[in-house]
Structure 1
Amino acid sequence: MDLKIKGKTALITGGDSGLGIETAKFLVREGVNVVLSDKEDNEGLQNAVDQVEKECEQGASVKGIAADISNNDEVLKLAEQIDKEFGGAHIIYHSAGARGAADDFLKLTDDDWMKTMEVDLMGAVRVARAFIPQMQKLKWGRMILVSSENAFQPYEEESPYNACKAGIINLSKCLSRAYSKENILFNCISPAYIETPMTDAMMEELAEERDCSVEEAVDWFVKNKRPHIAMERRGKPEEVASVVAFLCSEHASFINGTNIRIDGGSVESAFG
């Protein structure tokens, strides 16, 4: 399918692995110029650029630019560089995030909460604030924010993450009402238990705790902690990326202010 976005420029935050890389591959095959951004300019970011570069078609290009989304100055510098080199970003896929502090609620400090919020909620605020003006200038835009099943079905040990991800959905809806008349569309996705570095780290930690292999830890986690995943497995990054790519396209021109769950049936409620 031709997504009708050839020649546009996309920024993908959290772009050095997982969902960011897979989405970038979809977009560069459609002729989109992609900027991959992550916290540090390291080997991981360059490896991501190298992987995506192999998929480039129709004159697309890919570049890596480091920026820490918890630092507003760095986000503004990122926006300035993209504006200077590409004339602005038409598409933002804000995939950067972290699990943050996880523990019994009464053990979590203000600092635990604030560190999680700086990345998972305020990171999205900073990125939106920096790039909406570019979309206004271009008179076309797509912004996809990443929430989580945790927004609908919170897990008690992850209260800061749960709250931030619920806030992301509300933020997306708010922005969709404010800017859609300028042809800038905002949507959210809510993945659940996808094969990403974040869930890999969780499973490695669980494997160590249970003295078992990572594969056994994954099986145990699905059965005991995510029993509502009807498909009884982790999702694959490309299963999320394909939905994001569609939301970036001209074919999604009447999808605005919504949240799409990509969770294998993980959320138990029909109306969550």
Structure 2
Amino acid sequence: MNLQLTGKTALVTGSTAGIGYAAALGLLKEGAKVFINGREEKKLEKVVEQIKKDIPSADVEGVVADFSKVEEVDTLIHQIKELDILINNVGIYGDQPFETTPDEVWMHDFEVNVMSGVRLSRHYIPLMKKKNWGRVVFVSSESAINIPDDMILYGVTKTAILALSRGLAKSLRGTNVTVNSVLPGPTWSAGNLRSMKELSEKKGITVEEAALEFVKEKRPESIIQRFAEPEEVANLIVYLASPLSSATTGAALRVDGGIVNTAF
């Protein structure tokens, strides 16, 4: 299927690995120009170099930005003048016991997970409205609906993203600018791979066995009973970024492996 992305320009935040990286590759393979993003310049350069080897025709550039720092967001905006597609993917998470997670961690995670999307959308959406075409996709999580008791902060930020996405979509009523959110379930991101390796070493089992144990214990409602591959999530993101998704907006679309235990 031709997703009609040739000539479009996209930014994917947090895209040196995991879902963001897979989404960037998907957009590039469909002919879009893509800005990928990371916090470390050397790592970003290596990723861009690898992409150009794997996809010789790729029109890809790296842009460094730590989304917990407003000045670095401002620098990114100055570097990238205009976009057709904004994929707000960057996010952080981890073990966060509610009783011992201090204010500064709450504010830091909120800056990265929520305010990054607020700031970029506030800048680029008016430009999209001016030319009457654009796509904004927020990467939320099934944790926005199934708030994990061991990562309440993470769940709160991901729920906030759903509200932000829906509100922005409604504010763009009657335009050809769409805003949607995607809710992945457990996925083989860099962070999850690291966590599963730690669990496998602790229990003396393989990484695959650790992942299966995690799903059975922490996400027993999963229908697919496994971690998703980043590409499986990215496929939905790339479709939502395309002209073919023109009637889909204001939606929270699940690619969670069936974890959310409702039909609607």
Q: TM-score range by the shorter chain?
A: over 0.9
Q: Please state how far the C-alpha of 1:7 moved relative to its aligned partner.
A: 0.5
CA distance in 2, matches of 1:22, 1:75: 22
2:181 is matched with which residue? 188
Q: Please state how far the C-alpha of 1:257 moved relative to its aligned partner.
A: 0.5
CA distance in 1, matches of 2:182, 2:115: 17
3-state SS of 1:121 partner = helix
2:37 is matched with which residue? 37
Give per-residue Cα distances to partners, 1:147-172, cap 9 Å, x unaligned.
10001111101000000000000000
3-state SS of 1:155 partner = coil
Which moved further from structure 2: 223-232 or 248-257? 223-232
- On the 8 A contact 1:21/1:48 being kept in 2, the answer is no
Change (3 A) 1:180 1:8: farther
1:97 is matched with which residue? 91
CA distance in 1, matches of 2:63, 2:24: 14
| 1:122-271 equivalences in 2 (<5 Å) | 122-271=115-264
3-state SS of 1:153 partner = coil
3-state SS of 2:15 partner = coil
2:11 is matched with which residue? 11
Give identity over the alignment, percent: 37
Which amino acid in the other structure matches residue 16 of structure 2? D
3-state SS of 1:42 partner = helix
**TM-score normalised by the chain length of structure 1:** 0.91
CA distance in 1, matches of 2:124, 2:131: 11
Q: Please state how far the C-alpha of 1:107 moved relative to its aligned partner.
A: 2.0
Give per-residue Cα distances to partners, 1:207-239, cap 9 Å, x unaligned.
344343322221211111111111111001111
Which amino acid in the other structure matches residue 9 of structure 2? T
**TM-score normalised by the chain length of structure 2:** 0.93
3-state SS of 2:151 partner = helix
Equivalent of 2:108, from 109, 115, 119?
Answer: 115
CA distance in 1, matches of 2:164, 2:146: 18
CA distance in 2, matches of 1:73, 1:214: 39
Change (3 A) 1:232 1:101: closer
- On the 8 A contact 2:51/2:58 being kept in 1, the answer is no
CA distance in 2, matches of 1:67, 1:140: 26
Q: Please state how far the C-alpha of 1:60 moved relative to its aligned partner.
A: 4.8
Which amino acid in the other structure matches residue 62 of structure 1? V
CA distance in 1, matches of 2:53, 2:22: 12
Alignment RMSD, CA only?
1.7
Which amino acid in the other structure matches residue 37 of structure 1? N
Uncovered stretches (5+) of structure 1, i.e. residues with no partner: none
